[in-house]
């Protein structure tokens, strides 16, 4: 799932474990109890997103395009 638009969504208890989510956007999204462990979040944008108790350890390093 690359280049997905998750903007303005409320995502609760989502399992994105080991997903390929590069170039996706989560602008103004609310992420509660989401698992991004080992996900590829390269070039992903989280501008103004709310992350609560979310596992966000990525396999790919953060890039300059990413913001939290």
pLDDT per position in the chain (68 positions), as tens?
Answer: 899 999 999 999 999 999 999 999 999 999 999 998 889 999 999 999 998 877 765 455 444 444 45
Distance CA 56, CA 47 (A): 15
Longest CA–CA span in the chain (Å) reads: 27
Token pair recorded at residue 64? 């300059």
Distance CA 57, CA 24 (A): 16
């Amino acid at each position: 799932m690359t280049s997905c638009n998750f903007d303005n969504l409320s995502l609760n208890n989502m399992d994105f474990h080991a997903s390929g989510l590069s170039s996706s956007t989560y602008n103004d999204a609310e992420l509660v109890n989401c698992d991004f462990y080992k996900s590829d979040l390269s070039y992903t944008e989280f501008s103004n997103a709310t992350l609560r108790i979310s596992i966000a350890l990525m396999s790919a390093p953060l890039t300059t395009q990413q913001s939290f």
